[in-house]
Amino acid sequence: QSALTQPRSVSGSPGQSVTISCTGTSSDVGTYNYVSWFQQHPGKAPKLMIYDVTKRPSGVPDRFSGSKSGNTASLTISGLQAEDEADYYCSSYAGSYILVFGGGTKLTVL
Amino acid sequence: QVQLVQSGAEVKKPGASVKVSCKASGYTFTGYYFHWMRQAPGQGLEWMGWINPNSGGTYYPQQFQGRVTLTTDTSIGTAYMELSRLTYDDTAVYFCARDVSLWFGELDYWGPGTLVTVSS
């Protein structure tokens, strides 16, 4: 099972919006609505930001939103803030009990 | 409150095995699957498999089959990950995480990570 494809890096200025893509295949992202997004600050454990493609856990700001089209899922962060600077990872259920992660995207807030 | 507390850093020689623990508290231990992931220095997350604490059932991706063993001790609410035949490439931070959606990957709580260094 191959890793999901994410851009290595994205950047944006405070207050702007950025979108991070996560491209899989018809065997994972394209078939299942079990896409999650995680935020990871340096030296910390990942934190769940989005699950089931579009749902936000309690406590996650509504500036974070998720979507999916075909084999590509996306995480959009609006109203960028300095504390949003982190690495972001997507994951997807891929059938047959398998979970697959993306390679990660470094978000820089300029 | 839900907490996952992992064991401390380990240094192992090539060919040895390592066992990392993940003690859960604040919820019913047998109610949720555990996943294990690792992250090599400067790299992304790599999924290592899951365990159902209620039944002991496990699943390992092909690249870890035969080398990883996931277990739980329900009496003390602790999950374990044992990795054998260590190589330098196994140097990484190892994470446990709780899945609230069976095995579908809604990982809502993570342990802080355990650094395993393989060095001669």
Neighbours of B3 (CB within 10 A): 12
| Nearest by Cα to B38 from B20, B11, B59 | B20
Are B93 and B36 in contact, with CB atoms under 8 Å apart?
A: no
Residue B35 distance to chain A (closest CA, Å): 9
Q: Quick: pLDDT tens for B37-54.
A: 999 999 999 999 999 999
Mean pLDDT of all residues in B90-99? 98
Contacts of B37 in chain A (CB under 8 A): 101
Please, which residues have CB within 8 angstroms of residue B116's CB and are 6 or more apart in sequence? B9, B10, B11, B12, B18, B20, B83, B86, B90, B91, B92, B93, B94
| Nearest by Cα to B118 from B37, B35, B40 | B40
The pLDDT confidence band at residue A1, using thresholds 50, 70 and 90, is low
Question: d(Cα A39, Cα B49) in Å, to the nearest integer?
Answer: 21
- Decide if A47 and B37 are in contact by the 8 Å CB cutoff: no
The answer to whether residue B34 scores a pLDDT higher than 70 is yes
